Amino acid sequence: MVVGPSMLPTLHMEGDVVLLSHLAFTPQAGDLVVFKSPLDPRRFVVKRVVGVPGDTIRCDGPPPPDALVPLTVPPGTLWVQGDNVANSTDSRHYGPVPIGLVVGRVVMALRWPPVLFTRSQTRPPVDGAP
């Protein structure tokens, strides 16, 4: 069950249940993954994969506030961020996440208790497609 604002608007602050695939998979940018928190291994968190090993991404750097620093994702790790970047503790705070901490890829999100049935989208639309 998801709790917290970091994945708004993709996932609600509380009440969403995510179903995972624990089968072997190769993480791709855009995937939602659940992993053990690098800050507290007793907790599990859900974030979006922004970069995979070898990708160069731009992340928040030191002042000025809008400075973006290029970073290459190291082998064996993922760069993850919440969709609500203004309110998310993610790789910008704890660095790349070892792939070994990933427990699964989100394949479906359900609102619990069900209120409305809507199409869930775990990857961002391509070229503005619905």
Higher pLDDT, 22 or 45: 45
Q: What is the mean pLDDT of residues 108-113?
A: 75
The reply to whether 36 belongs to the active site is no
Q: Which CATH number fits domain 16-48+79-111: 1.20.1330.10, 2.40.160.20, 3.40.190.10, 2.10.109.10?
A: 2.10.109.10
The reply to whether 6 belongs to the active site is yes
Question: Residue 25: pLDDT band by 50, 70, 90 thresholds?
Answer: confident
Give the β-pairing of 32-36 and 44-51: antiparallel
The active-site residue out of 21, 36, 47, 88 is 47
pLDDT tens sequence across 58-70: 887 655 666 778 8
Instruction: Single out the residue of 32, 127, 45 nearest to residue 93, CA to CA.
Output: 45
SS3 assignment, position 66 = coil
Convert 46-76 to b/e letters by CB count within 10 Å (16 or more is b): bbbbbbbeeeebebeeeeeeeeeeebebeee
Question: Residue 37: pLDDT band by 50, 70, 90 thresholds?
Answer: very high
